[in-house]
């Protein structure tokens, strides 16, 4: 099973690209999101690979980023969402994290605006993946470097748990004013965790 390819980008045809690895050309299907981020032909590229092996053919799906691959792996667990449908969803004009946020927040009305996503599919995505996408966002936020474009909310006397939640939301790209408003409304019960509070905050974020 192929899990990773590193080689020269030898060409592209629609959503298919050819990666030349030591003289062997591998045809890989990519989302429009990954295609837009690929280097020019002739340069080296590394793709995370999902291999679909059927009786009639083997198809390779490639991803530049770990976040897109992680969301793809979640999408294909949903009934009637195969690899090609998942690639279509990831090609719908939203970044993987944005799609994960729509699912985590139950945004069925906005999910159906993605090409190829009907109301039933959107509802299934929310029902089956809501909590998983919340955890994915939490994982991505924990591993994401702080940026200078979105300053984290200032530390206050609200307590370390809420400070950590505010910091995670800021790293996801939420505006400081939105973060402060939602975090201020969170209630810390006995046994509260950052993960649980972050789930509450994501559900309360403005749509």
| Segment 61-118, tens digit of pLDDT | 999 999 999 999 999 999 889 999 999 999 988 889 999 999 998 889 999 998 878 9
Res 188: pLDDT: 80
Length of the chain, in residues: 207
Could you give the CA distance from residue 170 to residue 25 in angstroms, rounded to a whole number? 42
Which region, left, alpha or beta, applies to residue 174 given φ > 0 means left and ψ of -120 to 50 means alpha?
Answer: beta
List the chain domain ranges: 4-63, 66-143, 160-204
**Architecture category of domain 66-143 in CATH:** Orthogonal Bundle (1.10)
- Kindly report which listed range (33-42, 92-101, 123-132, 182-191) carries the lowest average pLDDT score: 182-191
Token readout for 94 is 């939203």
Give the model confidence (pLDDT) of 129-174 as tens digits: 998 998 888 887 766 544 444 444 444 556 777 877 787 777 666 6
Whether 26 has a pLDDT exceeding 50, the answer reads yes
**Distance of CA 54 to CAs 24, 57, 85, 165, 202, Å?**
21, 5, 16, 44, 38
**202 vs 46, more confident:** 46
Would the pTM count as exceeding 0.95?
A: no
Res 122: pLDDT: 92
- The residue with tokens 């955890």 is 135
Could you give the CA distance from residue 15 to residue 4 in angstroms, rounded to a whole number? 18
Phi (first) and psi of residue 106, to 5 degrees: 70, 35
Res 160: pLDDT: 74
Torsion sign (Cα): 55, 60, 66, 69: negative
- Residue spans of beta strands (DSSP E) within 54-164: 58-63
Could you tell me which CATH number the domain at 4-63 has?
A: 2.40.50.140
200 closest CA partner among 190, 188, 191:
188
Enumerate residues 6+ apart whose C-beta is below 8 A from 99.
71, 89, 90, 92, 114
The CATH class, in words, for 160-204 is mainly alpha
């Amino acid at each position: 099973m192929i899990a990773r390819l590193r080689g020269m980008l030898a060409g592209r045809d629609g959503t298919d690209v050819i990666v030349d690895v030591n003289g062997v050309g591998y045809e890989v299907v990519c989302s429009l999101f990954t295609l837009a981020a690929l280097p020019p032909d002739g340069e080296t590229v590394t793709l995370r690979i999902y291999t679909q092996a059927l009786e009639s053919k083997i198809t390779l799906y490639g991803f530049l980023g770990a976040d897109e691959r992680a969301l793809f792996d979640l999408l294909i667990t949903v009934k009637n969402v195969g690899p090609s449908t998942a690639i279509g969803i990831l090609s719908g004009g939203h970044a993987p994290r944005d799609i994960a946020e729509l699912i985590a927040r139950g945004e069925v009305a906005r999910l159906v605006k993605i090409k190829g996503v009907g109301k039933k599919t959107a509802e299934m995505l929310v029902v089956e993946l809501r909590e998983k996408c919340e955890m994915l966002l939490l994982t991505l936020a924990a591993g994401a470097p702080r940026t200078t474009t979105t300053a984290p909310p200032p530390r206050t006397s609200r307590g370390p748990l809420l400070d950590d939640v505010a910091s995670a939301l800021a790293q996801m790209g939420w505006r400081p004013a939105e973060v402060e408003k939602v975090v201020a409304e969170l209630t810390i019960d006995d046994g509260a965790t950052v993960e649980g509070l972050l789930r509450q905050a994501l559900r309360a974020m403005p749509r």
